[in-house]
Amino acid sequence: MNIDNTRHLQLDRESRGTRYYRNAVERHWDPFDIDLEADKAALVDHLQTVDEAESHFDGMRMGVARFGAGEQAVTEDLAPLATALDDIDDQMFVTTQIYEEAKHTDHFDRYWREVIHHAEDELGFERSSPTDDKWFNDAYDELFERNEDAMNRLLDDPSPETFAKAYCHYHLVIEGILAQTGYYGMQQSYSESDHPELPHLPGLYEGFTLIRQDEGRHVGFGMAKLKELVEEGVDPQLLDDTVNEILPYVNKIAANPEDEYVEDVGPSPTELQAFATDKHVERMEQIKDAAEDIPDLESLTELQGVGDD
């Protein structure tokens, strides 16, 4: 029990935590409301027209598998933050974040069952599994293991530095760089017109749009917390050092030209890396510069729409 009797009412409606919590409630969506019928048809049609359809299909399956596994990992690993934070407004927000990560996991699991398996059945391919080791690489495993460790450390040592490292791993690097670069790449690839050599998958596209709205709040919360920590005396160098230590793993995941499943379609690795670097530099400035504000909720939830830049 942790009732703060210096508060006249329970919640601080002006706080970022409660405002973001309310925004999450108001923008609630259900993964099962996304219509996947057009994706099922378009994917089968597309695979029937390309050469070496099964290996071509691997590029897309790898993307969906990595997103699904990533969303599962962040669902599993956020809980220590809810325990370590002791402000009710912050905790209100974290409850929405865990729930949203679970919905993202739900969406990708459903996509595999309903769209990918359907295409495999129609084309006579063996049904594949999103948990197969072949979709992942060492950098992917290492990055998520480090994230889990950074989050678990909050339980033993909830110091400002431990919080800063946790937000750097989880919110800045995994959500802010890896995931947002991935959404950008996937949405560019499977949108209506950008890459005519790939199928247009409106359900996949819509899922990414909804997930990005949620992720805008998640990244915004992490950035605001980092800004508070810096204002309270955490050395900004710690943020740079933490991010720089783990960035090489991201570069081997999001846009690895040596990845055997990455085909020469969709945005190029160079374009993806440039996108990630630009976004990151901008965010670090907003965190470290006392005069710069964290973007407001509307722009955060619209962060990085395809073609915004």
Using the contact rule CB under 5 A, the part of the chain among 93-101, 138-146, 240-248, 301-309 near Fe ion is 93-101
Work out which of 92, 118, 175, 176 binds Fe ion, going by CB under 5 A.
175
27, 301 in Cβ contact below 8 A?
yes
Is residue 77 near Fe ion by the rule CB under 5 A?
A: no
Q: Which of residues 204-223 bind Fe ion (CB under 5 A)?
A: 215, 218
Q: Provide, rounded to whole angstroms, the least separation between the CB of residue 33 and Fe ion.
A: 17
- Strand, coil or helix: what is 221? helix
Residue 146, C-beta contacts closer than 8 angstroms, at least 6 positions apart: 169, 246, 249
Of 77 and 101, which CB lies nearer to Fe ion in the complex structure?
101
Of 42 and 303, which CB lies nearer to Fe ion in the complex structure?
303
187, 306 in Cβ contact below 8 A?
yes
Is residue 104 near Fe ion by the rule CB under 5 A?
A: yes
Q: Provide, rounded to whole angstroms, the least separation between the CB of residue 253 and Fe ion.
A: 16
Is residue 101 near Fe ion by the rule CB under 5 A?
A: yes
Of 36 and 78, which CB lies nearer to Fe ion in the complex structure?
78
122, 109 in Cβ contact below 8 A?
no
Using the contact rule CB under 5 A, the part of the chain among 17-25, 175-183, 237-245, 258-266 near Fe ion is 175-183
Of 89 and 175, which CB lies nearer to Fe ion in the complex structure?
175
Using the contact rule CB under 5 A, the part of the chain among 99-107, 108-116, 142-150, 249-257 near Fe ion is 99-107
Using the contact rule CB under 5 A, the part of the chain among 71-79, 108-116, 198-206, 226-234 near Fe ion is 71-79
239, 230 in Cβ contact below 8 A?
yes
Q: Tokens for 1? A: 């029990």
Of 90 and 175, which CB lies nearer to Fe ion in the complex structure?
175
- Strand, coil or helix: what is 179? helix
| Residue 57 amino acid letter | F
Q: Provide, rounded to whole angstroms, the least separation between the CB of residue 71 and Fe ion.
A: 5
94, 210 in Cβ contact below 8 A?
no
Is residue 66 near Fe ion by the rule CB under 5 A?
A: no
Of 71 and 77, which CB lies nearer to Fe ion in the complex structure?
71
What binding mask, one character per residue, do residues 18-57 give for Fe ion by CB under 5 A, x or -?
Answer: ----------------------------------------
Of 12 and 206, which CB lies nearer to Fe ion in the complex structure?
206
Q: Provide, rounded to whole angstroms, the least separation between the CB of residue 170 and Fe ion.
A: 8
Using the contact rule CB under 5 A, the part of the chain among 36-44, 146-154, 172-180, 277-285 near Fe ion is 172-180
Question: Which residue is it, tokens 């997930």?
Answer: 211
Using the contact rule CB under 5 A, the part of the chain among 34-42, 95-103, 108-116, 191-199 near Fe ion is 95-103
83, 155 in Cβ contact below 8 A?
yes
Cα 256 to Cα 139: distance, rounded to the nearest angstrom: 10
275: left (phi over 0), alpha (psi -120 to 50) or beta: alpha
Spell 137-146 as b/e; 16+ CB within 10 A means b.
bebbeebbeb
What are the counts of helices (DSSP H) followed by strands (DSSP E) for the chain?
13, 0
155, 80 in Cβ contact below 8 A?
yes
Residue 288, C-beta contacts closer than 8 angstroms, at least 6 positions apart: 227, 230, 236, 239
Q: Which residues bind Fe ion (CB under 5 A)?
A: 71, 101, 104, 175, 215, 218
